[in-house]
Amino acid sequence: MRKVKVGNNEIDVDLTDKEVTYIKDTLERDPTITEIGMFDVMWSEHCSYKSSRPKLRLFEDAEKNYNYVLAGPGQDAGVIDIGDGYCLAFRIESHNHPSAIEPYHGAATGIGGIIRDILCMGVRPIALLDPLRFGSLKNNPHSQWLLKYVVKGIADYGNCTGIPTIGGEVEFDKSFQNNCLVNVACIGLGKIEDFKHAPSRAYNPGDYVILMGGSTGKDGIHGVTFASRTLTEESEEDRPAVQIGDPFTKKLIIEATLEAIKTGYVRGLKDLGGGGLSCALSELTGDGGTGAIIDINKVFTREPGMNSFEIMLSESQERMAFIVKPEGLETVLNVFRKYEMAHAVIGRTDDSKVLKVYNEDDFVVKLPAKALSESPIAERKEKQPKFLDTLLSQKTPNPTKSLKEIVYELIASENICSKEWIYRQYDHEVGIRSIIKCGDGDSGVLRIIGTDKFISASVGANSKHCYLDPYNGAKGNLVEVCGNILASGATPLAMVNCCNFGNPEIPESYWYFSNAVKGMADFCKKLRIPIVGGNVSFYNEDEVTKTAIKATPIIMIVGLIEGENNIITLPFKQPGNDILLVGETLAELGGSEYHSVIYNLEGGKPPRVDEDNIKSRWDFIQELYKRNLIKANHDINKGGFLISIAEMCFKNKLGANLELDNIYDKKVRIDEFLFSESVGRFIIEVESITTKEILDLAKKIKVDIYKIGSIISDPKINVSGLDDKNFSIDVFELEKLYKNSIPNIMDI
């Protein structure tokens, strides 16, 4: 923060001297104080992506290269065509900084913001997902406090607006102790025409500009610049930046907006988020190639005496800006009146390509509409951190515990155990679309009423893997989240991501970002997955200890299932059926739960990703689906394949006989084999008469697959073929540990 003098005023900004000079030069005059404030916000990291843009260019152009992508990065949300005249909009965003300070309202307004982004695309928000990160939970009142209120904030806001939370994930790791991550994702569904009719642009001169929703207050001025800084002592004083959400008003805004779009008179639509009115108006006109003239006195404020600066930069929640055809003004206003939503016509668009804001006769803002979007780029240095070599060379100690004890400990660990404590608090059924509900499968599955199509959605990342190898880690995240989609029977269609990293001005932190982006770009190009949007949250760095969070590029994938019969579920179904393991198990324990839970070790050799292998596995699984051969499917994730098998036993109270002699090849240690987190593996259930057909097919297309056992009705997992290390575990005991872990930690 530094001070800049404008006329008689001094203002705190994050702009650099160079930037201020550049602004003066382009305008050929001194900017007004409001203009400086606008530049400050719009050129902040959060809005301008000044550090990240050079890297994000590595992503393939989704709109150009994929015919079903209707809107790619740069829009409020990615939009894809899913056939039958329907489109899906989806996006993910971070609300880390506000949630670290005020978990309840921080998380709630995060949900509020992501809903608005989807609504902007003209479609109805139908689902939410919530990937979260906190410091470890056990004996840690701070983490427990954060988890409790973040979840309550998401629940209260999502439940009240009637949007089901259909999935999410959580990681607990000490690197998030002072910088928790609260990412939120939303999916919208609508007709393609509705999306086309309401772009977030003002293309036509002469249209009315209407502000609708909550009143404008002094709260949250400078929220954006706040998110573009690290959390320091200073943040205490930034506290007014924490917003109070109002889900009830949001619900009315959703209904009023969708009804207004249906009238056909809405020509543009934009939510007011970071940077408030100034950001929304300049994007509407700048991207649309128009200008506008705005009367600031028409903006309805919560308190009297607010100055132009405060009005233009306020980030008060629950507001939308509409661009409306002149002939439709009354019709649209009548919709707002029905919902008793406050509104005001604040100006009109014109063809001047200049955004002009007036207070009586004085101009407050007079900026070329494009000026704000042409932010400078910040060149950042990158450097591989020194500590990595040491970490990567760490060896797995010799086990002192029995394999059985280890499995019990793993299943109860914070990162593996059931997250029911969280998702029970979310209404995951409102909207009557949820077919596979939270906790019942690898991904959430929603029906599209009126068709025989189903949407599958999942989010996630493995921060421990990314910490050791951001390039392969980011790829591994994609493999895992796509695996969740595939396991439910769906085909992955498109991806959005949310990059959570440290301070980009620190070369080591920027190195993580750079490599993660490269990993995502390479993988998606190879496996033909369009990247249709993203969000970057930098400065997740602890100022005191000078450590960044573990690199966390969260991936969100949506997929499609054609036909109810093609939905695949996770639980084992039938005793006597065979259990197959798809994919190769390598000695890859770096960043595993096994290392962290049993030895408190962070290092080792993390999983690598071979795209060609992954591709043939996915094709293979799809082929088995086509032949109707898979009865249950679950991808393998944290803790290794035994954990996946246990999770598949729970629902129908079944067990498994595992004979591992034909897969365990003794070149690796038993623990390396059992608890490896090699990515891209699946456990599938098949009828035993079909096993041969499946193994033959796999051989033909060179996919690693092993029959590892069969399902039994006795709720035990009996493991044999491990020399003298055979053991047997009790499914009920496992389930108890799995279910009770978080409730036991949370309820003091």
Partner 1 sequence: MTLKSAARDPVADTIQRDLIAKKGFDMVSHVRSGQYLKISLQAEDKDSAEQIIVRMCNILRIYNPITQNLNILKVTEIDQ
Partner 2 sequence: MSIKIAIIQFPGSNCDLDALHVLNDVMTIETTLVWHNEFKGSQFDGAILPGGFSFGDYLRSGIIAAHSPAIDEARQMLKDDKPIIGICNGFQILTEAQLLPGALLQNESLKFICKWVKLRVENNQTAFTNMMELGSILNIPIAHGEGRYFTDKLKELQDNNQIVFKYVDNNGEMGEYSNPNGSLANIAGVCDLEQKCVGLMPHPERASESILSPEKTIHGKLFFESMKNFIEKRV
Ligand X SMILES: Nc1ncnc2c1ncn2[C@@H]1O[C@H](COP(=O)(O)OP(=O)(O)O)[C@@H](O)[C@H]1O
Q: Report the catalytic residues.
A: 46, 95
- Is 438 an interacting residue with respect to ligand X (CB under 6 A)? yes
- Is 739 an interacting residue with respect to partner 2 (CB under 8 A)? no
Binding track over 444-463 against partner 2, x by CB under 8 A: ---x-x--------------
Q: Give dist(CA 492, CA 559) in Å, integer.
A: 4
- Which window, 58-66, 309-317, 372-380, 434-442, contacts Mg ion (CB under 5 A)? 434-442
Q: Give dist(CA 210, CA 112) in Å, integer.
A: 20
Binding track over 554-573 against partner 2, x by CB under 8 A: ----------x---------
CB atoms within 10 A of CB 491: 15
- Is 217 an interacting residue with respect to partner 1 (CB under 8 A)? yes
Q: Which residue is nearest to Mg ion (CB)?
A: 442
Please give the residues from 244 up to 263 whose contact with Mg ion meets the rule CB under 5 A: none
- Is 387 an interacting residue with respect to partner 1 (CB under 8 A)? no
Minimum distance between the CB of residue 251 and ligand X, rounded to whole angstroms? Answer: 21
- Please say which residue, 325 or 573, places its beta carbon nearer to partner 2: 573
Partner interacting with residue 239 (select from ligand X, partner 1, partner 2, none; CB below 5-8 Å by kind): partner 1
Please give the residues from 158 up to 217 whose contact with ligand X meets the rule CB under 6 A: 165, 167-170
- Is 169 an interacting residue with respect to Mg ion (CB under 5 A)? no
What amino acid occupies position 445? V
- Is 443 an interacting residue with respect to Mg ion (CB under 5 A)? no
What amino acid occupies position 97? H
| CB neighbour burial string for 673-697, b if at least 16 within 10 angstroms, e if fewer | bbbbbbbbbbbbbbeeebbeebbeb
Q: Give dist(CA 463, CA 606) in Å, integer.
A: 11
Q: What element of type H or E holds 533?
A: strand 531-537
- Is 654 an interacting residue with respect to partner 2 (CB under 8 A)? no
Partner interacting with residue 635 (select from partner 2, partner 1, Mg ion, none; CB below 5-8 Å by kind): Mg ion
Q: Give dist(CA 198, CA 265) in Å, integer.
A: 9
Angle at 649 between CA 643 and CA 652, to 5 degrees: 155
Among 434, 540, 637, 691, binds ligand X (CB under 6 A): 637
Partner interacting with residue 169 (select from partner 2, Mg ion, ligand X, none; CB below 5-8 Å by kind): ligand X
- Is 338 an interacting residue with respect to partner 2 (CB under 8 A)? yes
Decide: 721 and 660 in contact? Cβ < 8 Å: yes
- Please say which residue, 251 or 366, places its beta carbon nearer to partner 1: 251
Partner interacting with residue 610 (select from Mg ion, partner 2, ligand X, none; CB below 5-8 Å by kind): none
Write phi, then psi, for 607 (nearest 5 degrees): -60, 145
Q: Give dist(CA 734, CA 646) in Å, integer.
A: 7
Cα Rg of the chain, angstroms: 26
- Which window, 4-12, 120-128, 212-220, 540-548, contacts partner 1 (CB under 8 A)? 212-220
Count residues binding partner 1 (CB under 8 A).
22
The closest alpha carbon to 534, from 122, 124, 75, 188, belongs to 75
Binding track over 410-429 against ligand X, x by CB under 6 A: ---------x--xx------
- Is 431 an interacting residue with respect to partner 2 (CB under 8 A)? yes
Among 390, 400, 667, 748, binds partner 1 (CB under 8 A): 748
Distance, CA of 393 to chain centre: 32
Partner interacting with residue 56 (select from ligand X, Mg ion, partner 2, none; CB below 5-8 Å by kind): none
Angle at 562 between CA 434 and CA 76, to 5 degrees: 65
CA 358, 373, 91, 261 dihedral sign is positive
- Which window, 40-48, 286-294, 476-484, 582-590, contacts Mg ion (CB under 5 A)? 476-484
- Is 219 an interacting residue with respect to partner 1 (CB under 8 A)? yes
- Is 132 an interacting residue with respect to ligand X (CB under 6 A)? yes
- Is 101 an interacting residue with respect to partner 1 (CB under 8 A)? yes
- Is 84 an interacting residue with respect to partner 2 (CB under 8 A)? no
- Is 171 an interacting residue with respect to Mg ion (CB under 5 A)? no
Count residues binding Mg ion (CB under 5 A).
4
Please give the residues from 311 up to 340 whose contact with partner 1 meets the rule CB under 8 A: 316-317
Distance, CA of 201 to chain centre: 25
- Is 54 an interacting residue with respect to partner 2 (CB under 8 A)? no
Locate 357 and state its tokens: 């804001």
- Please say which residue, 209 or 481, places its beta carbon nearer to ligand X: 481
Decide: 677 and 637 in contact? Cβ < 8 Å: yes
SS3 for 8-53 is CEEEEECCCHHHHHHHHHHHCCCCCHHHHHHHHHHCCHHHHCCCCH
- Please say which residue, 40 or 318, places its beta carbon nearer to partner 1: 318
Tell me the pairing of strands 491-500 and 552-562: antiparallel
Q: Give dist(CA 132, CA 460) in Å, integer.
A: 9
Minimum distance between the CB of residue 216 and partner 1, rounded to whole angstroms? Answer: 11
| CB neighbour burial string for 427-441, b if at least 16 within 10 angstroms, e if fewer | bbebbebbbbbbbbb
Cα 177 to Cα 111, 140, 613, 719, distances in angstroms: 22, 9, 37, 38
Binding footprint of ligand X on the chain (CB under 6 A):
130, 132, 165, 167-170, 419, 422-423, 438-439, 441-442, 484, 637
Binding footprint of Mg ion on the chain (CB under 5 A):
442, 484, 635, 637
Binding footprint of partner 2 on the chain (CB under 8 A):
152, 155-156, 159-162, 246-249, 251-252, 338-340, 423-432, 434-435, 440, 447, 449, 564
